[in-house]
Structure 1
Amino acid sequence: MTTISKTITINAPMSKVWEKVSDTGSISDLIGFLATSVQDGDTRVCSLEGGGELTEKIVSVDPDLNRVVYAIISSPLNMEFHVATMQLEAGDQGKTKLNWIVDLLPVEARDHMEPMLDGACADLVNTLAA
């Protein structure tokens, strides 16, 4: 297994960022490579801009911990296992830190997943501050 960990700082208060991050059905409004996202219960289906779909299970949305946990259960990205945590913490001067930790298999999946996460983090810095 490999782990990818990203921490970004968002120029917005944690309550505003949490409002958007915890709305798990609207993730495509925040990340550019997702064309659409539709959630039914704890299942979210995201279509990719380049084609294909991710089917995800929303494991937890915890307002006490300011944390969302989800797992990709089906995708065209050749992953055997994918679970991710997005957790917020208060930053300096009214800003928010978002820690995104992804565990995945096979290890080689990191080669295509890390650039996707880098792009998604850049998108989140912009869309969460808006």
Structure 2
Amino acid sequence: MGTIRKEIVIHAPAEEVWRALRDVGRAHERLTPGVLVDCRMEGDARIVTFANGMVVKERIVTVDDAAMRVAYAVIEGGPAHHNASMQVFAEGPRTSRLVWISDFLPDEFAQVAAPLIEAGAEAMKKALAVDSLTP
């Protein structure tokens, strides 16, 4: 199984980053603007549209406030298997670390996933910086 692990240092308190991350229906606005262009909820799933036109349906597996962790699994429009989690850790009073782990099959899907994860990580650094966060 292919795995991509990405750690992102964000210049914002963990609680603020978590507030944006847990808002799973607004990922295109709050987390990765420009990478995701649309996101809408359907029950416990969200339909996300990427800037490259790819559309996937992701089941939200968990939103864990105590661990500041979101987990999701692609159930339509992706590879044979894709699950991921994002978790926020405090690094100090005004800095946090977001750890994004994505597992998928087939392994070759890394060629598609890696550039999207890189673009998503850069978008999150900018969108979640303390001077960019909105309630």
The TM-score range, normalised by the shorter chain, is over 0.9
2:55 match:
53
Unaligned runs of 5+ in 2: none
Is 1:103 the counterpart of 2:103 in the alignment?
Answer: yes
Supply the distance in 1 between the matched residues of 2:52 and 2:94 (Cα, whole angstroms): 36
- TM (normalized to structure 1)? 0.94
- TM (normalized to structure 2)? 0.91
| Deviation (angstroms), 1:94 | 2.0
Q: What amino acid maps onto 1:115 in structure 2?
A: P
Q: What amino acid maps onto 1:128 in structure 2?
A: L
1:12 match:
12
Is 1:70 the counterpart of 2:92 in the alignment?
Answer: no
Aligned-residue RMSD, C-alpha: 1.1
| Deviation (angstroms), 1:93 | 4.7
Per-residue CA deviation, residues 21-70 of structure 1 (Å, 9 max, x unaligned), is: 00000011121221100013211001122223110100000000110000
Q: Percentage identity across aligned positions?
A: 34
Supply the distance in 2 between the matched residues of 1:107 and 1:115 (Cα, whole angstroms): 15
1:41 match:
43
Supply the distance in 2 between the matched residues of 1:123 and 1:33 (Cα, whole angstroms): 7
| Deviation (angstroms), 1:118 | 0.5
Supply the distance in 2 between the matched residues of 1:22 and 1:93 (Cα, whole angstroms): 20
Q: What amino acid maps onto 2:94 in structure 1?
A: G
| Deviation (angstroms), 1:107 | 0.2
1:27 match:
27
Number of residue-to-residue matches in the alignment = 128
C-alpha distance 116-52 of structure 1, shift in aligned 2 (>3 A): closer
| Deviation (angstroms), 1:105 | 0.4
Supply the distance in 2 between the matched residues of 1:23 and 1:100 (Cα, whole angstroms): 16
